[in-house]
Structure 1
């Protein structure tokens, strides 16, 4: 855990420098520490709609030593423009002095902490961590999840499905550079039968996975974070709710988990990742669906990690 350093600093980190300060093993450990830290406070985030379907997100969080605010825009239409869909920063302050300590690249923090949260959930909940891993969506989050799962689990094979053939093939090439077997598929539902590990990380503009999962499946659904967004078919969600284990990243998901809300599920009754971390033995039955909506506490964990990792 990071302990406040009285020496005033203010460092602006670019994407590469931010990534270097967020190694997955340390980030995953810090995520678990944040969930167990009683000093952590996370006010509700503000999601302001912007013209054209974009959103401005303002996400504060703090603990006894560190306060952060993530300020980012999410613009789905940028995918068709060849631009990144997420822009912004995470500003990190020292609580004791009020001084700004770091400014982290927002998209990099979002990608790496989201993938690390999925990895933490998979490590604690997945019935079968050997793979193959099916990734639906070959953008920034697809690459981040590939990197995180390749480093944190024993997968040897990855299957990529994407609306963009070029993006899918680029991610396959990246997977092969990591020593993994990799291939592109055009039908994610058909691939589901052969993949016990699944990540959906699309712009969540429509259902991309609807077939019922195998009994040892772990699905991390990360694309949808508003009631209107969706990646998973309602039958799939209800099937896991009735026959498996359904966990959300935080209690905030009760008003953000579009996949589950559109399936008519009572999200307030579901276990959260904090329940999993704090339990002596969390019972997992059947296929697992982990619904991740995002939380500023994850960004706080990233800031704590970045403060603790010295620059090279």
Structure 2
């Protein structure tokens, strides 16, 4: 009798669809919050090796008291706009007690869903208004993942979509309408800001796509830029939120990775982290900018959800 999962040695190799089935957004956001409260989590710095031609190899390990995992992915910006994805690879999950492989998750699926779930958790904790409408700038994988996450986790009913690709914009609008949302395309995301207190930017981060102005009820989750050379947000927007609102980074590693903030000259040493906001909600002050750069801990949260204690025989 065939199973739906393929066997890879003693591990279960999951397809992208099977990986997604293990990682519903709301439970994944809850698992991320639980991980931030877990003193047994250990996450060393990720290793990044640049390749000729502009690509990179990322090796991102982490563990808790039950599971160990490593995400091994490639990032190839030159694939943007082609049939090949820009992110490829796998997440290998191990049993800490025995060293046995438990599952091999699809790396791009984990990356998309855990990134959107982190933004969802940040919006649940920090957004002045969580009902939307939602503006998505960048209609690729992250745009769709964030749309699904914000619909499932916040109940968003209206979305505006801006992208350089008319085909990608239309595909995301069609998806939104299939979900029952009111959906609009726009060539002017600055203008759409007036209608949308929730904002997600998930572009290739090769140039500025938003530079404000923001009102006091805006929440912006910026996820596209994860190196000092990348940025989506302009200096005026970043400086305005730093001076008149609240800037939160996903982890302390953003101090040397968040290109949007670094290029805007925002002081990085005293910024709030998501873990601090989970422990104690900060005072609400003006617009909120949540800058996400990525962390292997988020992948470990996905591994924990995909490999519950009952699957490893842990007590």
Tell whether the structures are fold-level matches, with TM greater than 0.5: yes
Gap runs ≥5 in structure 2? 1-8
Q: Which residue number corresponds to residue 297 of structure 1?
A: 297
Matched, 1:253 2:271: no
Q: How far does residue 268 in structure 1 lie from its aligned partner after superposition?
A: 1.7
Q: Which residue number corresponds to residue 4 of structure 1?
A: none
Q: Which residue number corresponds to residue 242 of structure 1?
A: 243
TM-score between the two structures when normalised by the length of structure 1: 0.95
Q: Which residue number corresponds to residue 209 of structure 1?
A: 210
Matched-pair contact (CA < 8 Å) for 1:134–1:198: yes
Take 1:84 and 1:270, find their aligned partners in 2: how far apart are those partners? 33
Q: How far does residue 83 in structure 1 lie from its aligned partner after superposition?
A: 2.0
Matched, 1:20 2:21: yes
2:172 match: secondary structure: helix
Which whole-Å deviations, capped at 9, do the CAs of 1:141-192 have from their partners, x for residues lacking one?
Answer: 1000000000001211000000100000000000000010001100111111
Take 1:284 and 1:77, find their aligned partners in 2: how far apart are those partners? 40
Q: How far does residue 248 in structure 1 lie from its aligned partner after superposition?
A: 0.2
Take 1:211 and 1:289, find their aligned partners in 2: how far apart are those partners? 11
Q: Which residue number corresponds to residue 306 of structure 1?
A: 306
Take 1:54 and 1:90, find their aligned partners in 2: how far apart are those partners? 19
Matched-pair contact (CA < 8 Å) for 1:21–1:309: no
Which whole-Å deviations, capped at 9, do the CAs of 1:36-68 have from their partners, x for residues lacking one?
Answer: 000000000011111222111110000001011
1:209 match: secondary structure: coil
Q: Which residue number corresponds to residue 263 of structure 1?
A: 264
Q: Which residue number corresponds to residue 166 of structure 2?
A: 165
Which whole-Å deviations, capped at 9, do the CAs of 1:235-275 have from their partners, x for residues lacking one?
Answer: 10000000001000000100100000001112121000000
Number of equivalenced pairs: 303
Matched-pair contact (CA < 8 Å) for 1:229–1:259: yes
Gap runs ≥5 in structure 1? 1-7
Take 2:283 and 2:267, find their aligned partners in 1: how far apart are those partners? 20
TM-score between the two structures when normalised by the length of structure 2: 0.94
The two structures, once aligned, show a CA RMSD in angstroms of 1.4
Q: How far does residue 9 in structure 1 lie from its aligned partner after superposition?
A: 5.0
2:289 match: secondary structure: strand
Q: How does 1:53-202 map to 2 (within 5 A)?
A: 53-202=54-203
Take 1:62 and 1:12, find their aligned partners in 2: how far apart are those partners? 20
Take 1:309 and 1:133, find their aligned partners in 2: how far apart are those partners? 36
Q: Which residue number corresponds to residue 5 of structure 1?
A: none
Q: Which residue number corresponds to residue 283 of structure 1?
A: 283
1:205 match: secondary structure: coil
